[in-house]
């Protein structure tokens, strides 16, 4: 029997022409079919393929989830700063390091700041803790924010008002409360204005319900007028926490903060700078970053080791096949391309699964307690980089093994 | 007869220092187009090293090699790979089929390597398998094929790109006697053509009858050459590789 199937890949080539043919065939290496072949090799071994996907998904999930929660916690440390949208600059005692530990200023500080050229307006802003008691005796510390009586500067944005209006804060004993605080003091009740509770034996009447950013602590957030706030916490010699400043048109925030510091001796920072001051304080003085960093590090190591080892074993088990492909005329470059493709495919699938798991986690765990926790795009991008690192490390050993592979090994039984 | 392979004084050393081993000792051999040549000899005599060198998978330490009129040493590394891709077919002892590919896809692999479109390649592979009697096994994975069927798939893979030289390493050693004989029968029919040479390394004396020329090797040398299709036709010559001043093989056809 003689086969009639004759496939001429090319016309016969004279020996002297081989160099030219080699040049001509550069780049024509059957990449489509060989890529398909690489993927068939990869997905054929279901157990290892699944293990690879699992290792990368697990790492991607853990890293994104932990990094996002860390980001959420750090964001919470500056939530009261972020919620003040109408001021450009915060002025404070030079000893102040972050928003939750305030060294009070003298009341005269407001006037001194107002006198600095480039200041459009400057108003007092109180930030402190008070004790609130509901009608049923429920008791809790609250974060109390006192806004300038005249301008109400520092009030929540109108879009954050779930019920009530900013102007209603001018009513006697008026307070805004954030949604989770309302649910704490009035559990199971629908959002409703007119509810009352007590702070320092003073009546507080809910005239607005706010979607305030979640604070670092889980305390309810209350807004009231500055004068009212002083009643709620009890009069002391110095109670002015911050001076909020709006810069005049054409003045840069950087110049203004410098001028305020020079002229008044107080510390002046932009809202953004103050936010980062608070974040860095928590980063430096708490074990939070170490704790989350450890988890992320372990996820990275476990992912790299498991994925690397599994991928390497996968290559070792296919070494004969790679050798046969080499013998049949597959170039090293093509084999490297095949391995990288395999690695990138498991990386992409693992990353996608990991992101899906993380998104599911944040949707399922959504509650008052987890306010402000969401998937940070920065965490997603960072995790993508980590996954790329994992698959590159995983494929590196395999690539080395295949590159040094003697094709003659296919003849060794 | 046109010469497919010419080896002159081929020497191969492995390792260095005290661990240095000489696998081939100035070996001379010629194989013509249209011939099915067998390399036989005890384990460690250098058969596998020799076919690895002929196939361009190993470099000889010394000596001259000409394959299909080309001296591999004259080619760049890339040109050597392309030369191998186009002109050589391989049949391995353990078949070396890709376990995740079907029979037809396995046969198509050399065409994939050569850059042929996947669908076209698989179609051509299917036609060839059909001719080899495996038309009903096209979509079977190697694990679902018998040893004989796997080796037929491997043979089809070696033939699919119509190479001028086919190198087989112990093609029947993993098969029982009957299957091995059937496979060789089929192989000699489909593989041997006037414009192609086939080299088979084997221990299996039961398949010697398919050889046109049998080179007996010992200790890195060709110690005996039997020539002519079918052993026992009185065409036996005994030559040694030391006699480098005269042709190792005298053609009888």
- The tens digit of pLDDT for each residue in A145-190 reads 999 999 999 898 888 899 999 999 999 999 999 998 998 888 888 9
* Residues counted in chain A: 413
Residue B248 has pLDDT above 60, yes or no: no
Beta bridge partners of B37: B199, B213
Cα(B237)–Cα(B250) distance, rounded to whole angstroms? 9
Min CA distance, A58 vs chain B (Å)?
27
Question: What pLDDT does residue A27 have?
Answer: 45
Q: Is A238 helix (H, G, I), strand (E, B) or coil?
A: coil
Residue A360: burial class (beta carbons within 10 Å; 0-12, 13-18, 19+): exposed
- CB atoms closer than 10 angstroms to residue B202: 25
Model pLDDT for residues B182-200, shown as the tens digit of each residue = 888 888 888 888 889 999 9
- Beta carbons of B100 and A40 less than 8 Å apart: yes
Across B210-226, average pLDDT: 90
Asked if B113 and A325 come within 8 Å (Cβ–Cβ), the reply is: yes
Average pLDDT, chain B: 85
What's the pLDDT score for residue A188? 87
Of A40, A329, A406, the CB nearest to B81: A329
Mutate to test the interface with B, among A23, A28, A30, A315 (most CBs of B within 10 A): A30
For residue A21, the chain B residues in CB contact (below 8 A) are 79, 82
Which residues in A lie closer than 8 A to residue B46 (C-beta atoms)? none
Choose among A33, A320, A323: nearest Cβ to B112: A33
Give burial (CB, 10 Å; 0-12/13-18/19+) of A404: exposed
**In this structure, are strands A119-134 and A242-247 parallel, antiparallel, or unpaired?**
antiparallel
pLDDT of residue B50: 93
Using DSSP bridges, classify how beta strands B21-32 and B3-14 pair: parallel, antiparallel or unpaired: antiparallel
Between the two ends of chain B, the Cα-to-Cα distance in Å is 8
pLDDT digits (tens, 9 = 90+) for B23-65: 999 999 999 998 999 999 988 899 999 999 999 999 999 999 9
Question: Which residues on chain A are in Cβ contact (under 8 Å) with B51?
Answer: 411
User: Contact B173/A32, CB-based, under 8 Å?
Assistant: no
**Residue B235 pLDDT greater than 60, yes or no:** no
The partner residues of B201 in beta bridges, in order of sequence, read B39, B169
Is residue B243 scored above 50 in pLDDT? no
Q: How far is B115 from chain A (nearest CA, A)?
A: 3
Decide: pTM greater than 0.80: no
Q: What is the pLDDT of residue B191?
A: 85
* Distance from the B98 Cα atom to the nearest Cα atom in chain A, whole angstroms: 6
Nearest-Cα residue of chain A relative to residue B106: A37
Condensed to tens digits (0 to 9), the pLDDT of residues B115-167 reads: 899 999 999 999 999 988 899 999 999 999 998 899 989 999 999 999 999 99
- Which residue, among B15, B78, B185, would best test binding to A if mutated, counting the most A CBs under 10 Å from its CB? B78
- Cβ pair B82, A21 in contact under 8 A: yes
Would you call B173 and A413 a contact, using CB atoms and an 8 Å cutoff?
Answer: yes
| Rounded Cα distance, A364 and A359, in Å | 9
CA distance to partner chain A, nearest, from residue B227 (Å) = 24
Residues of chain A with pLDDT under 70: 1-30, 412-413
What value does the CA radius of gyration of chain A take, rounded to a whole number of Å? 32
- Which residues of chain B are within 8 Å of residue A335 when distances are taken between CB atoms? none
Cβ distance of A328 and B160 shorter than 8 Å: no
Q: Where are the alpha helices (DSSP H) in A15-163?
A: 18-24, 31-44, 46-76, 79-82, 108-114
Tell me if B213 sits within 8 A of B227, measured CB to CB: yes
pLDDT in the model for residue A209? 95
**% of chain B exceeding 90 in pLDDT:** 53
Query: Across the interface, do A328 and B170 touch by the CB < 8 Å criterion?
Result: no
- Give A-chain residues touching B185 at CB under 8 angstroms: none
What are the C-alpha distances in Å from A60 to residues A6, A65, A242, A304, A322? Answer: 50, 8, 42, 11, 30
Reduced to 3 states, what is the DSSP secondary structure of residue B13? strand
């Amino acid at each position: 029997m003689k086969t009639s199937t004759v496939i001429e890949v090319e016309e016969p080539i004279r020996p002297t022409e081989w160099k030219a043919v080699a040049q001509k065939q550069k780049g024509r290496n059957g990449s489509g079919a060989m890529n398909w072949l690489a993927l068939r090799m990869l997905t054929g071994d279901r157990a290892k393929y699944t293990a690879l996907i699992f290792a990368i998904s697990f790492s991607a999930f853990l890293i994104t989830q932990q990094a996002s929660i860390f980001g959420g916690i750090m964001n919470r440390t500056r939530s009261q700063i972020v919620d003040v949208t109408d001021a450009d600059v915060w002025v404070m005692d030079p000893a102040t390091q972050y928003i939750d530990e305030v060294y009070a200023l003298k009341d005269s500080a407001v006037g001194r700041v107002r006198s600095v050229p480039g200041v459009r307006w400057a108003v007092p802003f109180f930030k402190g803790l008070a004790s609130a008691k509901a009608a049923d005796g429920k008791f809790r510390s609250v974060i109390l924010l006192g806004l300038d009586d005249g301008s109400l500067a520092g009030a929540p944005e109108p879009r954050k008002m779930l019920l009530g209006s900013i102007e209603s804060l001018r009513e006697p004993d008026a307070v805004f409360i954030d949604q989770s605080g309302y649910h704490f003091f009035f559990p199971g009740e629908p959002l409703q204005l007119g509810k009352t509770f007590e702070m320092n034996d003073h009546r507080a009447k809910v005239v607005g319900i706010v979607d305030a950013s979640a604070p670092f602590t889980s305390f309810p957030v209350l807004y009231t007028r500055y004068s009212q706030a002083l009643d709620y916490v009890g009069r002391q010699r110095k109670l002015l926490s911050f001076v909020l400043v709006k810069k005049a048109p054409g003045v840069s925030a950087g110049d203004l903060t410098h001028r305020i510091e020079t002229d008044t001796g107080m510390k002046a920072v932009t809202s953004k700078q103050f936010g980062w001051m608070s974040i860095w304080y928590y980063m430096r003085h708490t074990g939070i970053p170490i704790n989350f960093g450890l988890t992320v590090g372990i996820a990275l190591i476990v992912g790299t080791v498991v994925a690397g080892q599994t991928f390497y074993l996968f290559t070792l088990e296919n070494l004969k096949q790679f050798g046969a492909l080499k013998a049949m005329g597959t170039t090293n470059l093509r084999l490297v391309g095949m391995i990288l493709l395999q690695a990138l495919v498991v990386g992409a699938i693992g990353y996608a699964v990991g992101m899906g798991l993380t998104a599911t986690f944040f949707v399922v765990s959504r509650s008052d307690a987890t306010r402000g926790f969401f998937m940070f795009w920065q965490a997603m991008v960072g995790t993508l980089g980590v996954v790329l690192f994992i698959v590159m490390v995983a494929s590196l050993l395999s690539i080395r093994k295949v590159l040094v592979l003697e094709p003659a090994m296919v003849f060794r039984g | 007869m046109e010469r497919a392979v010419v080896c002159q004084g081929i020497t191969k050393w492995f390792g260095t220092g005290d661990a240095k081993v000489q696998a081939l000792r100035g070996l001379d051999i010629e194989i013509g187009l249209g011939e099915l040549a067998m390399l036989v000899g005890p384990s460690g005599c250098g058969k596998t090293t020799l076919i690895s060198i002929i196939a361009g998978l190993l470099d000889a330490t010394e000596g001259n090699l000409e394959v299909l009129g080309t001296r591999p040493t004259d080619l760049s590394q890339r040109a050597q790979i392309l030369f191998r891709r186009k002109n050589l077919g391989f049949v391995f002892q353990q078949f070396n089929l890709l376990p995740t590919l079907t029979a037809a896809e396995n046969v198509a692999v050399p065409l994939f390597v050569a850059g042929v479109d996947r669908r076209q390649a698989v179609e051509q592979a299917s036609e060839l398998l059909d001719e080899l009697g495996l038309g009903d096994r096209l979509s079977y994975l190697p694990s679902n094929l018998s040893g004989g069927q796997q080796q037929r798939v491997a043979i089809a893979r070696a033939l699919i790109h119509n190479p001028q030289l086919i190198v087989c390493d112990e093609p029947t050693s993993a098969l029982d006697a009957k299957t091995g004989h059937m496979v060789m029968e089929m192989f000699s029919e489909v593989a041997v053509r006037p414009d192609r040479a086939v080299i088979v390394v084997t221990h299996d004396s039961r398949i010697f009858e398919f050889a046109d020329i049998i080179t007996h090797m010992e200790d890195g040398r060709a110690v005996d050459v039997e020539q002519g299709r079918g052993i026992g036709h009185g065409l036996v010559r005994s030559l040694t590789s030391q006699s480098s001043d005269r042709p190792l093989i005298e053609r009888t056809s």
